[in-house]
Amino acid sequence: FSQLLEAVSAFAAAQPEPAQVYVWLDVLTVNQHAGGEALPQAWWATAFKQGICAIEHTCLVLAPWRTPIPMTRAWCLWELLCTAEGGARLSVQLPPAEAADFERALVEDFDAIARAVAAVDVRNAEAFDPNDLRMIRGAVEAGVGYGGLNARVLEQLRVWLADAARAALARLDAHERGTSTLLDRTAMLLQDQGRLDEARPLCEEALAAR
């Protein structure tokens, strides 16, 4: 839980006006394990979903980044579905404790990160209560579908990865940049996302260094 709070704090601090950022943590306000006191499923599909849409911004804390726990939890899947169907913005944040390992992998083992992102599949999400799992899976299938939700989550993860890679590149000195695998991989990511104006100078830089 401490990593979650640290990640959310880092996310808020990075916003243009940190003092104006308010964070809603579901675990502190909604009991998903209340047994007989649990809220009816209709509530989750209406009031809860409307609340996420009203907030307009979901922060996905990716921890650990190699095998992200949120991608294995059905209730996280439900919130991602509400985010996708409600048109809310989705951002990705790492806990500070994960940042050093992630930064090293960006420079030294970029393919490991690409594999971790590609392995994300919302079909693998589970829940403690089988009834919750059935409700959430049914909602996904009746809505954007697993393929659609996977596509939206992976798209945002790739955008986040490309931006993180560009930031890591900016911290390398000129000699390291030219021969770094990170330079090629970042250019490829940007190309795949249609960000050609951003990819072109990186491709030219890589060619010039050879």
**Angle, to 10 degrees, between the axis of helix 74-86 and the axis of helix 145-170?**
90
| Whole-number pLDDT of residue 209 | 78
Do the beta carbons of residue 108 and residue 176 sit within 8 Å?
A: no
**Is residue 76 domain-resident?**
yes
Which pLDDT value is given to residue 36? 44
Which domain range does residue 30 map to? 2-100+121-158
210 within some domain: no
pLDDT at 9: 93
| Spans of the chain, pLDDT less than 70 | 29-42, 44-45
- Answer positive or negative: Cα dihedral of 5, 7, 10, 16: negative
Evaluate whether residue 153 is within a structural domain: yes
Among residues 28, 100, 25, the alpha carbon closest in space to that of 55 is found at 25
Q: Is 132 a domain residue?
A: yes
Within a domain: 151: yes
For position 22, what pLDDT does the model report?
92
To 5 degrees, how large is the angle CA 176–CA 178–CA 184?
110
Distances, alpha carbon 93 to alpha carbons 14, 40, 163, 180, in Å: 10, 31, 12, 25
Instruction: Provide the domain count of the chain.
Output: 1
Q: Are 174 and 206 in contact (CB under 8 A)?
A: no
Q: Is residue 172 part of a domain?
A: no
